[in-house]
């Protein structure tokens, strides 16, 4: 993430740069409306800039790996309300998860040879492996701690 955004979060949390944030405090803060507004704005702007550097190539996608139960739904709501980027929300308990994942992975356009999808991005709850193998995935925004997986 950009340094200015990291500094904003440190200021929001009222912690010094050399301190770590407890997971309990991180979950509480990252579910707040103010944080969701700021992180979604950052992701929207960062992804638009990234796509612009690649001639607005629609075959490039992004994923947001979230934490907590409230955060992913708030992020999806933000994108539906405030952005022209189309996102899908993949939660562990939804019926159409595989359909959303397949759509995010995209289909090859026979004329251009590029992958196409109705979704620019996918929002997942802790499930980094969901869609992680999608060839379209070129930007990953981790809002959760990375843990070992065996």
Q: Is the pLDDT of residue 139 over 80?
A: yes
Indicate whether 148 belongs to any domain: no
Q: Is the pLDDT of residue 10 over 70?
A: yes
Indicate whether 147 belongs to any domain: no
Q: What is the pLDDT of residues 76-113, one digit of tens each?
A: 999 999 999 999 998 876 677 788 888 888 899 999 88
Cβ proximity of 42 and 30 under 8 Å: no
Say how many domains are in the chain: 1
Of 47, 118, 39, the closest CA to residue 74 belongs to 39
Q: Give the global pTM.
A: 0.82
* Parent domain of 134: 3-142
Spatial CB neighbours of 101, under 8 Å, sequence gap ≥ 6: 90, 122, 130, 131, 134
| CATH at 138 | 3.40.50.300
- The packing angle between helices 23-30 and 33-53, to 10°, is 80
């Amino acid at each position: 993430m950009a340094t200015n955004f990291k500094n904003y979060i440190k200021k929001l949390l009222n912690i010094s740069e050399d301190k770590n944030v407890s997971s309990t405090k991180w979950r509480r803060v990252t579910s707040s409306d103010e944080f969701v507004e700021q992180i979604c704005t950052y992701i929207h702007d960062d992804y638009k800039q990234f796509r612009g550097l690649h001639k607005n190539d629609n075959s490039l996608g992004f994923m947001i790996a979230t934490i907590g139960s409230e955060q992913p739904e708030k992020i999806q709501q933000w994108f539906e309300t405030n952005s022209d980027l189309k996102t899908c929300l993949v939660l562990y308990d939804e019926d159409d998860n595989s359909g959303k994942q397949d759509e995010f992975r995209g289909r090859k356009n026979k004329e251009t040879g590029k992958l196409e999808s109705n979704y620019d991005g996918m929002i997942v709850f802790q499930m980094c492996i969901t869609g992680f193998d999608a060839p379209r995935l070129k930007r990953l925004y981790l809002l959760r701690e990375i843990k070992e997986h065996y």
